[in-house]
Chains A and B, each alone.
Chain A
Amino acid sequence: MSDKGKYKIKQLSIFSENRPNRLGAVAKVLKDGKINILGFSIAEGAGYGVIRVLVDKPETARDLLTKEGFVVKFTEVLAIQMEDRPGGLFDLTDQMKDINIEYGYGYRNPPFAVLIVRVEDIDSGIDKLLAGGLKLLDNVNFH
């Protein structure tokens, strides 16, 4: 079971209240801490947002952001490798149909593309995705 741990990627979830340039404030902390952003999305709640970021040094990023007053949490996500061509996402979906996905976002990483997903039950999610023959990225690729 322990080898499943290597597929779990630490995503930073940052609470963002409805005020101008909250994103700029987050980005500035990361820049000043020389932290590289690998993946990124913003989710819209009711009158607030959640900024989700994958970074190369999650612990450092969390500490720096917390020091600046931000509310930050680690959330474990999975990174699925896709072919960077038409139908790349479609090829994955058949293996993913039994997994309850809470949210996801993607980015291009030539020669591949990557789909980041937050699943309801991460351990069984890893099993099902691997059993379906999908390639999960090891977290050393990120941190």
Chain B
Amino acid sequence: MHSFTVRIGPVGFRVGSAWPRPVAALEAIYAGYPGPRDGIADFTVRLEPERPWRRFVRPSVAIRGDFILPDAVPMALRHGFLAAEMGMNLQMALGQRRFLLLHASAVERDGRVLLMTGESGAGKSTLAALLGERGWRLMGDEFALVDPVSGLIHAFPRAVSLKNAAIAMLRAEASEDRFGPELDGTPKGTLRHLRPRADAVARMDEPAAPALLLFPRYGHDRAIRPMGEAEIFVRLTQASTNYVALGEAGHAALARLVKTVPTRAIDYPDSAAALAIVDMLWAEQAR
């Protein structure tokens, strides 16, 4: 078993792989990240041949670990690094119990956090990555961790997963050595991963208070819409993978977020328009 360990924000991971390649890719993209606290991983991911002989013959990577989806489809070995990333996300989605998990990106400025959530394709990841290159601290492009006790957002700055057109957009902003290999023909099209800036990694243990929540939607005319508390609450329960599992603590954390953080739904035709809306709302609304 080839082994890799890393700490991303408050969460330690151990990834074991039957092949060396996925581990080499992880080591490259997570260069500069610390190891798990006290050398103890919160979660274990295993990349194994789907059947013993598939280690060598048409290698096929099954994603296993502490928490698994029984009907997950195995992946080609050239996508092994992606399998590791999916495996780590899966452990968070199914196993995380310390924080309320929101499927949202998070960026910070002046000690306050902008959260963006929405369905896949809404652009939360791309917008967070762009903001992360333009003066904001990237706290995460996939999961925002809400501390049920303090209400603060904890950073989870894993490698940003860029899809299709977003790859070229970020290559214009970030140096080549921060990018992972190009993965084509994945279920989501072409993917490349981007390591967050060194300061975002160095400051990943600094939580911060949420100040503005946006529900972006890409591919529509520019529009800004206020949302009622009930709608926000329901959409955030849908955006959380562990709201039910946390019980009362999860409910209280989510209710506090909805009651205290200004929220808008925004539609945008292109990222320049989205960034302009963010600037405007941040100046007006963030408190």
Q: Do A and B come from one complex?
A: no
